Chains A and B, each alone.
Chain A
Amino acid sequence: MLVLTRKPGESVTIGDNIKITIIEIKGRQVRLGIEAPRDMTIHREEVYSRIHEENQRAALRKAINIEKLAKLFPGKISGDK
């Protein structure tokens, strides 16, 4: 990992079209501004990781028991979460 030290107002560039700016530091929180091409997705890492992990858990890699699933429906879905 490349580690740099920046002050508020200073930036870091990545490649030709990504720029990250430290906007302000308030207590223990850092406010970041990110400029990147619109087709690039930017997410808080922990949220992205959670989706990534859940997708891995959900992906069907081996046979699922269809009979077991068929018994669950219809009429058994909850109306709220």
Chain B
Amino acid sequence: MKIVSGRLGEIEIDAAKIITFPDGIIGFPEYLRYIELEFMENSPLRLLQAVDAPDLGFILIDPVLFHPGYTAAVTQDDIKSLNADSPEQLLVCAIVTIPDDPYEMTANLQGPLVINPVSGLAKQIINHDQAYTTKHKIIANKPAPSAK
């Protein structure tokens, strides 16, 4: 099916790959359908594009890339609501906030997205572990400005 992405223009997507958030993403309850897109080569960042809103998207990253051992605190109710049987069937990713200086980009490890790739259902859960914040820095070292 064709959708319009604010970033990529009109694109063709596989409707079978649409991810549905029955409760939407927190703060955006009216948009339930998204699709994950690659928008840069060799990049750990992916675009979660809202299928029904061309200008709405989120950048996602796998938290394990910069925070090994990260786990989302998924409950039995969460697992059931995604039509899964166990936490191992679920994918976890974090929404990235990119400020004006992209080196300062942060990942929301307190509110990860949990996706069941088989059922296509997903939700945003809240990690109550105090160790996780909504603003984890992704990039450790900004390169020194080059001398001109």
Residues of chain A at the chain B interface (Cβ within 8 Å):
38-39, 41, 43, 47-48, 50-66, 68-70, 72-74, 76-81
On whether the beta carbons of B97 and A58 are closer than 8 Å, the reply is yes
Which B residues are CB-close (under 8 A) to A58?
58-59, 95-98, 108
On whether the beta carbons of B40 and A77 are closer than 8 Å, the reply is no
Query: Assuming A72-B139, A81-B66, is B28 touching A55 (CB within 8 A)?
Result: yes
Partner of B65, one of A38, A51, A66, A77: A77
Which A residues are CB-close (under 8 A) to B27?
51-53, 55-56, 59
CB closest chain-A residue, reference B94: A58
Which B residues are CB-close (under 8 A) to A78?
66, 137-141
Which B residues are CB-close (under 8 A) to A79?
66, 68, 140
Shortest Cβ distance from residue B10 to the other chain A in the assembled complex, whole angstroms: 15
On whether the beta carbons of A68 and B102 are closer than 8 Å, the reply is yes
User: In the complex, what distance in Å separates the CA atom of A77 from the CA atom of B43?
Assistant: 11
Partner of B57, one of A52, A60, A66, A80: A60
On whether the beta carbons of A60 and B7 are closer than 8 Å, the reply is yes
Which B residues are CB-close (under 8 A) to A50?
110, 134
User: In the complex, what distance in Å separates the CA atom of A20 from the CA atom of B135?
Assistant: 32
User: In the complex, what distance in Å separates the CA atom of A12 from the CA atom of B134?
Assistant: 32
Which A residues are CB-close (under 8 A) to B23?
41
